[in-house]
Amino acid sequence: MALTLIALYYYVCDCYDKQVRWQVQRFSSNKLEGQISDEELLTIYLFCVAYQEKTTLRSMHRYMHQHWATYFPNLPAYQTFGNRINRLADAFPVLIKQLITDLGVGEQDAQVLLVDSMPIITCSAKRQPKVALELVDKTYCASKGFYYHGVKLHLLGQRRSGSLPLPYALGITPASAHDLTCLRPVLGQLSEKIIVADKAYADQKLRAQVIDQQQIELLTPVKGVKNKPESLVHFDQASNDLFSRAVSSLRQPIESFFSWLQHKTQLQLASKVRSTLGLKVHVFGKIAAALCILMKFNP
């Protein structure tokens, strides 16, 4: 495990020098004696989440202090540690981009994109939200059958044969944002792709538009039409059911990816987040850590 930690640290240092350093606001020189560097803090976060199943800052700090103090002699007190990690919120999206590039995806697989969203819960609907109010709002989660306050993670993933999809584009929005509304701006930047989604993204007008203008095939399960004659419903039922099952089978890997992501990082549970920066670290930091598991650092 020590070799994994060292390899991860060297990788983070390389990414930091090339790209991350330009996206991070520096509050100190990070070179003074007694100061822990940004690279060390990023390594600690990724290592704890990816390989030690430590998903809170307090558990990370306690674990590193007890087991890896010789590797990080300048580890600060918990409060300073938490503040410094939150200041690195903008670093994690850059790391995600670099990790995706290094993982790579075949050109054939890159033609098929899977899209879905995942709720991230800051508190239940019975409570009053007090954190990241510019991002958090209340909505109903149909798949789980409850109301909650939080945000929604939207993911457009590249399909990979026999493996979990890789993120192609991702972002967070208030929880009440409709999935299709969030996808529209991304569609404008794509061409010659096949996008597989669920019924929430079904829109016949949009589908015809992207096929004609951008050669994008938008595949969704067949959505029922209101007031359609019953005779026509029965006439089309067999073919519609077969098509819907085929689409659902194609998009199953992105559901598996979300399930795996939740299992490894507890991403959906953001009740311990105490600030907007903390929420961004919680989301993008854990996605970066999950991608590290798929990287060469996995023993």
pLDDT tens-digit readout, 211-255: 888 888 888 887 766 666 666 666 667 777 887 888 888 888 899
Domains and CATH numbers, the chain: 2-88 (no CATH), 94-294 (3.30.420.10)
Q: What pLDDT score does 299 carry? A: 46
150: left (phi over 0), alpha (psi -120 to 50) or beta: left
The pTM is what? 0.85
Residues 6+ apart with CB under 8 A from 252: none
Q: What pLDDT score does 33 carry? A: 45
Q: How open is the CA angle 281-297-118, to the nearest 5 degrees?
A: 40
Tokens describing residue 227 = 């007031």
d(CA 42, CA 15): 11
d(CA 287, CA 264): 10
Phi and psi for 148 in degrees, rounded to 5? -155, 160
CA 266 to chain centre: 12
Cα dist from 55 to 119, 215, 285, whole Å = 17, 42, 10
Tell me which residues of the chain have a pLDDT lower than 50.
32-33, 108, 299
d(CA 74, CA 255): 41
Tokens describing residue 74 = 């300048």
Q: What pLDDT score does 25 carry? A: 62
Pick the closest to residue 254 from 141, 151, 144, 169 (CA basis).
169
